[in-house]
Chains A and B, each alone.
Chain A
Amino acid sequence: ILNVEQSPQSLHVQEGDSTNFTCSFPSSNFYALHWYRWETAKSPEALFVMTLNGDEKKKGRISATLNTKEGYSYLYIKGSQPEDSATYLCAFGSNTGKLIFGQGTTLQVKP
């Protein structure tokens, strides 16, 4: 059974703080690593899809890195804002087209 682990489970930061969280995944049979942002009462929205070792993606203040050899990805948020409060999901993709999701990291940014 493939396991995708995210840490921490939850995080509280002050507005303006920078933060990061981790996604660990199997290093074998890797095809893609997805990050999704999930706001309360909404549906998950794709942030990044990364496929190559060493990939770095950026969208505004949010960026992500990928290490497929050791099986981890980091998501960074620079200068957190209250609107960044959400659950961030990562998902491991193999060659089947299916994704295995982690349990998510819930971020709360206090003004």
Chain B
Amino acid sequence: NAGVTQTPKFRILKIGQSMTLQCTQDMNHNYMYWYRQDPGMGLKLIYYSVGAGITDKGEVPNGYNVSRSTTEDFPLRLELAAPSQTSVYFCASSYRQGNSNQPQHFGDGTRLSIL
């Protein structure tokens, strides 16, 4: 099993550009998550999904969009990149998580710089 795979690993964008961060998992996990990690701030939840066709906002969703057309894939879209979106982005997945009692499995992260 590859686990959770994120692409790309690094990207530099200009202000106003758009891009999609890809995330795929091969563990047949229902739940998937997108986090951003800023220095000294821990992980902040952007969006999450409890299954194909269902997504919901996390703590910091502004400026992002997601979709979940399949169990495996959960792409994160930045429509108009802003410097405040410079961060490291982590995708994670877990087995059904109704009581938060399943560990999350993380991808290796995407380091994004907006200049």
Docked complex Cα distance between A44 and B37 (Å) = 11
Chain B neighbourhood of A100, CB < 8 A: 45
Interface residues in chain A, defined as those with a beta carbon under 8 Å from any beta carbon in chain B: 4, 9, 31-32, 34, 36, 42-46, 49, 51, 89, 91, 93-104
Chain A neighbourhood of B109, CB < 8 A: 43
Secondary structure dominating the interface of A: loop
Chain A neighbourhood of B50, CB < 8 A: 97
Docked complex Cα distance between A103 and B40 (Å) = 6
Interface residues of B in 20-45 (CB under 8 A from A): 31, 33, 35, 40-45
The answer to whether B42 touches A51 (Cβ under 8 A) is: no
Task: Please name the residue on chain A nearest to B102 by beta carbon.
Answer: A49
Docked complex Cα distance between A8 and B107 (Å) = 27
Task: Please name the residue on chain B nearest to A104 by beta carbon.
Answer: B42
Task: Please name the residue on chain A nearest to B101 by beta carbon.
Answer: A32
Docked complex Cα distance between A99 and B101 (Å) = 10
